[in-house]
Each structure stands twice: as C-alpha cells, then as structure tokens.
Structure 1
Amino acid sequence: MTVVQQRPATDARTLLPAELRETLAQNVRVKFPQMTEEYAHRGVGQMLAFLAAGAHSDTPLSPSPLVDDFWHAFLLHTKAYQEFCAHTLGKFVHHQPGFLDKEEHGGGKALRAQTMEAITAIGFVVDAEFWPELDIADCSQCHANCHNSPKHG
C-alpha cells in the first residue's frame, strides 16, 4: 500500500527577501493609498505565485488586474526582477501585453481559472480575494491585457 501525503500549500511570499517584499508592497500602496499594508503584502505573494506558475507552465497564464499591478511594480525594479527570474524561477518570465486568441485559450476568465489551477499545482496558496473577476465576467485577460507567454524566451 502506498501512502500519499499532501503538503500544505506554501505562501509564495517566501520566494523574496523581506526588504524587497516591503518595497514592492509600498510601491503598490502609493498607487492605491487605501490599501492596507497587510493586503499589499498578500498581493505581493499572489504576484509571486503567478510568476512561479508562469515559469512552470507551457501555456499562457493571465493575472487578475490587481495581480498585474503588483507585477508591474516588480518589473520597474528591472535588476531585482531579472535576478529573481534567473535565480529563483530558473527562467525569465516575460510580461506580454496583448490579446490571446479566445478560441485557442478560452478567454480571460478561463485563463485565470487555469492560472489558479497552475498556482495550486506547484504548491502555492491561492488567495481568492485577488482573483475576484472569476465570479463576474468572461472578460479578456486584464485591464491591460497582460499575460505571460511561454512562446517568448
């Protein structure tokens, strides 16, 4: 008899040093001053989980609009982002604005559902509060139409 033991999901915030997490959280709070510090730190974790899932995925994944704002904040720290991708993820995760073919990829809502499944599959926590549009509309990727694309890089 084989016993399969499930591990609890990991908070992706552990992928970055505390100082950089704090910087990214504060940068997003400048754009959204009403956002609490705790919520901003959770958002950093969801962005990191998205990036880790994107690095492991052979198909495009799509962030929620809010997760995309955290990704944009990280991208502005180009050296830190490049080093994170290389040393932590093992590959560069490109930010690819633009529309993906809905017939091929299922549209934004389907892509984000796939993204949440991909995050869970690699062992990270999905914080549903950062993916609210899964319950409301079948929109395209996000307000800026961003996604990762395994076809680039």
Structure 2
Amino acid sequence: MTIALDRPVGTTDPAELVGSEMTERLSARIVKDHPEIDHATARRIIAQTAAFLAAGAQHPGLDLSPSKLVDIGWHTWILHTVDYAVFCEQVTGRFIHHIPTADGEQVDGGPEAARERTLTAIAGAGFTIEADLWPPAAKMSECSQCHAGCSDSPNGGKKK
C-alpha cells in the first residue's frame, strides 16, 4: 500500500526521477544480491531511494537516514557509480556522499527521530512514501552494511 504523510499538492511518484531503464538495471542487481527480495519490491526500493536522496538534497543538515531496505537500494546504486553520479547531478545538483555511522554511533536524536525526520522530509518534498519499506525505528538500526545506520552528507562529505 502506498501512502503519503502530510501529502502536498502534486505529490509525485519518485520512480519518475530514475527512469525505467535505470530502475530495471538497479532492481536486477538488488534481486541478484538479495534473493529474498522480489523484482517488484526491488523497483519500489529504488524509487524510495530516489525520494530519500532528493529529499535529503532539499533539506541539507537534517541528518536523514534510510531504512534497511532503502539502504540496500542506496548501496546498490552507489556500485553503479556513473548512474549514481548522473542522478545526483541532475536531480540534486551535487554528489551525495554515503556516510556510514561508526559502530555504536547514532544519527541525531536516535533511530525513531531520524525515521520521522526522513519521512517528513520525503513527504514535504512531494514524494509518495511506501510505508512498508520504512518500518518502525526499532528496525532502522539494523542497517544492512553500516551496522548502526547511514546518513546523507548535508555538508558535502566533510566531517563535522
């Protein structure tokens, strides 16, 4: 089920930011690397990853954080560096660095606050939210490869 929180007028499907060819390429990679994820879900993950990145670019400094599934999408996309760099430049106007948190480190306010900030930013940016891809914060700290979580780089990748 697709829902939008505080849906602004003109809410957009974030898949439109990616394009069908890139979505298919990235989705196929997710399914290959994560056989527990079906192709339809992988496409939804890519769309939500695009929404997360676009919202983060619109709201620098908010310390947004992806869900476990969206982080899989982000990691997959980063492996396709040319596609990722083009998307960043065209959609956000800058390269968005992926900055894993250190072991034991949490994003500002903890996982629940990060989840709420992230969903509010995505909805505020005008994108639909696939609620089942953004589970409660208790599960957000189970980031697939970053241990404690990941965040976007509002300061261009420079350490604070």
- Is 1:152 matched with 2:156? yes
1:129 maps to amino acid: D
Deviation at 1:31, TM superposition (A): 2.0
Correspondence list, 1:3-152, <5 A: 6-58=8-60, 59-99=62-102, 105-134=108-137, 137=138, 140=141, 142-143=143-144, 144=146, 145-152=149-156
Is contact 1:141–1:147 with CA below 8 Å preserved after alignment? Answer: no
Aligned sequence identity (%)? 39
Q: Which has the higher contact order (CA 8 A, sep 6+)?
A: 2
Q: Which has the larger helix fraction?
A: 1
Query: Which 5+ residue runs of structure 1 have no aligned equivalent?
Result: 1-5
Q: Which amino acid aligns with 1:120?
A: A
Q: Deviations over 1:9-41 (max 9, x none)?
A: 211010112111001111101122232221111
Specify whether residues 109 and 45 from structure 1 end up closer, same or farther in structure 2 by C-alpha distance, changes over 3 A only.
Answer: same
Change (3 A) 1:56 1:101: farther
For residues 131 and 120 of structure 1, what CA distance do their matches in structure 2 show? Answer: 13
Aligned-pair distance for 1:87? 1.4
Give the letter for the 1:150 counterpart: P
Unaligned runs of 5+ in 2: 1-7
Q: Deviations over 1:31-70 (max 9, x none)?
A: 2223222111111111100000111112211001110000
Which of 1 and 2 has greater Rg? 1
Q: CA RMSD in A?
A: 2.1
In 1, Cα distance between equivalents of 2:17 and 2:140: 30
Displacement of 1:8 after TM fit?
4.0
Post-superposition shift, 1:138? 7.7
Partner-residue secondary structure (3-state), 2:71: helix
- Please report the TM-score for the alignment, with normalisation by the length of structure 2: 0.82
Partners of 2:9 and 2:75 in 1: CA distance: 31
